[in-house]
Amino acid sequence: MVLRKAALISLVITEGSRVSAFAPNPPNRNVQVKSKHVLSTRLFATVEKDEAAVDAPDHMPELRDIAPTIDPKSSNTAFLRYMSDHAFSVANNAKYWNERAQSLLSWEHYPFTSENCEGVVTGGFEYGDVAWFSGAKLNVCYNAIDRHVQNGKADQVAMIWEGDEPGQVLKFTYSDMLRRVSEIANALKSQGVKKGDVVTIYMPMIPQLPMTILACARIGAVHSVVFAGFSSEALSARISASKSKFVVTTDNGVRGGKTIPLKKIVDDAIERNDCKDIVKNVMVFERERSIASDAVTADPSAMNWISDRDVNMNDLLPKQRPYCTPETMDAEDELFILYTSGSTGQPKGLVHTTGGYSLYAAHTIQTTFDLQPNDVFACVADCGWITGHTYVVYAPLLSGSTTVLFESTPLYPDAGRYWDMVERHKISLFYTAPTAIRSLVRFGDDIPKKYDLSSLRILGSVGEPINPAAWQWYYETVGQERCTVVDTYWQTETGGHIVTNIPGVTPMKPGSCTLPLYGIDLVVLDPMTGEAIEGNDVEGVLAIRSPWPGIARTCLGDHARYLSTYLRPYPGYYFTGDAVYRDKDGFYFITGRVDDVLNVSGHRIGTAEVESALVKHPSVAQAAVVGRPHPIKGEAIIAYATPTESNTEDEEELVKELRLLVRSEIGPFASPDVICVTPSLPMTRSGKIMRRVLRKISAGEADQLGDVSTLADPGVVDVLIELMEKQAV
CATH number at residue 50: 2.30.38.10
Give pLDDT, residue 299. Answer: 57
Same domain, 640 and 521: no
SS3 state at 677: strand
**What integer pLDDT is reported at residue 581 of this predicted model?**
94
The answer on 318 and 272 residing in a single domain is: yes
The answer to whether 422 touches 395, Cβ cutoff 8 Å, is: no
Looking at the structure, tell me whether residues 297 and 183 fall in a common domain: yes
| C-beta of residue 589 within 8 angstroms of C-beta of residue 581 | yes
Tens-digit pLDDT profile for residues 670-725? 999 999 999 999 987 666 788 889 999 998 988 888 777 667 788 899 999 999 88
Q: What 3-state DSSP class applies to 520?
A: coil
Residue 69 has pLDDT above 80, yes or no: no
- Over range 341-347, report the average pLDDT: 66
- Pairing mode, strands 588-593 and 39-41: unpaired
Are the beta carbons of 452 and 418 closer than 8 angstroms?
no
Does position 164 have pLDDT exceeding 70, yes or no? yes
Among 379-388, 529-538, 719-728, the minimum mean pLDDT is found in 719-728
Q: Is residue 22 part of a domain?
A: yes
Residue 67 lies in a domain: yes
| Report for 12-21, 532-541, 677-686: range of highest mean pLDDT | 532-541
pLDDT tens-digit readout, 440-455 = 998 999 999 999 999 9
What is the mean pLDDT of the segment spanning 370-386? 96
Do 575 and 698 share a structural domain?
no
Question: Is residue 365 pLDDT above 70, yes or no?
Answer: yes
Q: Using an 8 Å Cβ cutoff, are 184 and 248 in contact?
A: no
Query: Of 719, 86, 140, 195, which Cα lies nearest the Cα of 398?
Result: 140
Residue 431 falls inside a structural domain:
no
Q: How much of the chain, in percent, has pLDDT values that exceed 90? A: 71
Q: How many structural domains comprise the chain? A: 3
Q: Do residues 180 and 315 both lie within one domain?
A: yes
291 shares a domain with 209: yes
Q: What is the largest CA-CA distance in the chain?
A: 78
Q: What is the C-alpha to C-alpha distance for residues 163 and 630, in angstroms, rounded to an integer? A: 30
Cα 397 from Cα 552, distance rounded (Å): 21
CA-nearest of 497, 466, 495 to 485 is 466
Q: Are residues 464 and 341 in the same domain?
A: no
**Cβ-Cβ contacts under 8 Å for 237 (sequence gap 6 or more):** 274, 347
Instruction: Give the integer Cα–Cα distance in Å for 95 and 89.
Output: 8
Query: Residue 7 pLDDT > 70, yes or no?
Result: no
pLDDT in tens, 455-483: 999 999 998 889 888 999 999 999 999 99
Q: Kindly report, residue by residue over 17-53, the tens digit of the pLDDT.
A: 222 222 333 333 333 333 344 444 334 333 333 322 2
- Please state, as a whole number, how many other Cβ atoms lie within 10 Å of the Cβ of residue 149: 19
E strand residue ranges, 366-505: 376-379, 402-406, 429-432, 458-461, 484-487
Model's pTM, two decimal places?
Answer: 0.84
Residue 238 belongs to some domain of the structure:
yes
Q: What is the pLDDT of residues 222-268, one digit of tens each?
A: 999 999 999 999 999 999 999 999 999 999 999 999 999 999 999 99
Backbone angles phi, psi at 394, to 5 degrees: -70, -55
**Last residue within a domain, chosen from 572, 593, 614:** 593
Residue 253, strand partner residues = 260
DSSP H or E run through 189: helix 174-190
| CATH code where residue 673 lies | 3.30.300.30
Domain hosting residue 516, numbered range: 3-138+350-370+457-593
The 8 Å CB, 24+ separation contacts for 20-24 are 20/84, 21/84, 21/85, 21/87, 21/88, 22/81, 22/84, 22/85, 23/85, 23/88, 23/89, 23/96, 23/99, 23/518, 24/85, 24/99, 24/100, 24/103, 24/367, 24/518
Does 654 share its domain with 573? Answer: no
Boundary (domain end) residue, out of 576, 593, 610: 593
CA distances from 530 to 126, 384, 525, 543 (A): 15, 34, 5, 10
Examine the domain organization and report whether 486 and 539 are in the same domain: yes
> Which residues, at least 6 apart from 652, have a Cβ–Cβ distance to it below 8 Å?
none
What per-residue confidence (pLDDT) applies to 55?
Answer: 29
Of the given ranges (16-30, 64-78, 421-435, 647-661), which has the lowest mean pLDDT? 16-30
**Other CB atoms closer than 10 Å to residue 723's CB: what's the count?**
16
- Comparison of pLDDT for 532 and 727, the residue scoring more: 532
Which amino acid is it at 660?
L
| pLDDT 10s digits, 101-146 | 999 999 999 999 998 899 999 999 999 999 999 999 999 999 999 9
Per the prediction, the chain carries an average pLDDT of: 88
Instruction: Tell whether 196 and 301 lie within a shared domain.
Output: yes
Are residues 180 and 307 part of one domain? Answer: yes
541 strand-pairing partners:
525, 579
Segment 597-654, tens digit of pLDDT: 888 888 888 887 898 899 899 999 889 999 998 989 989 999 999 998 787 788 999 9
Place 300 in a pLDDT band, splitting at 50, 70 and 90.
Answer: low
Q: Please indicate, yes or no, if residue 526 is contained in any of the structural domains.
A: yes
| Identity of the amino acid at 565 | T
pLDDT score of 51: 28
Mean per-residue pLDDT, 365-389: 96
Res 646: pLDDT: 81
Residue 246 lies in a domain: yes
Phi then psi dihedrals of residue 257, to 5 deg: 85, 0
Identify the pLDDT of residue 350. Answer: 98
Report the candidate in 522, 555, 554 with the shortest Cα–Cα distance to residue 541: 522
535 Cβ partners below 8 Å, 6+ apart?
Answer: 37, 38
Highest mean pLDDT among 289-293, 345-349, 501-505: 501-505
Reply yes or no on whether the pLDDT at 3 is more than 70. Answer: no
Give which of 207, 225, 230 is closest to 313, Cα–Cα: 207
Q: What is the DSSP letter of 53?
A: G
Q: Is residue 61 part of a domain?
A: yes
The CA-atom distances, in angstroms, between 346 and each of 312, 561, 584 are 33, 11, 39
Domain limit, last residue, from 283, 316, 349: 349
SS3 content of the chain, % helix, strand, coil (to 5): 30, 25, 45
Instruction: With a cut of 50, say whether residue 8 has pLDDT above it.
Output: no
CATH at residue 323: 3.40.50.980
Backbone dihedral region for residue 174 (phi beyond 0: left; psi -120 to 50: alpha; all else: beta):
alpha
Asked if residue 244 is part of any domain, the answer here is yes
Phi/psi zone of residue 535: left (φ > 0), alpha (ψ -120 to 50 degrees), beta? left
Distance (Å, whole) CA 25 – CA 531: 35
Question: What confidence score (pLDDT) does residue 16 get?
Answer: 28
Do residues 85 and 513 touch, judged by C-beta distance below 8 A? no
d(C-alpha 488, C-alpha 503), whole Å: 12
Total residue count of the chain as it appears in this document: 729
- pLDDT at residue 687, as a whole number: 66
Asked if residue 658 lies in contact with residue 614, where contact means CB atoms within 8 angstroms, the answer is yes
- For 276-297, write each residue's pLDDT tens digit: 899 999 999 999 999 985 444 5
Assign 402 to helix, strand or coil: strand
Written as one letter, the residue type at 623 is A
Which range (119-128, 333-342, 356-365, 700-709) has the least confidence?
700-709
Residues 6+ apart with CB under 8 A from 298: 251, 286, 288, 289
Beta bridge partners of 260: 253
Q: Residue 727, Cβ neighbours under 10 Å: how many? A: 12
User: In terms of domains, do 305 and 186 share one?
Assistant: yes
**Rg value, the chain, Cα:** 25
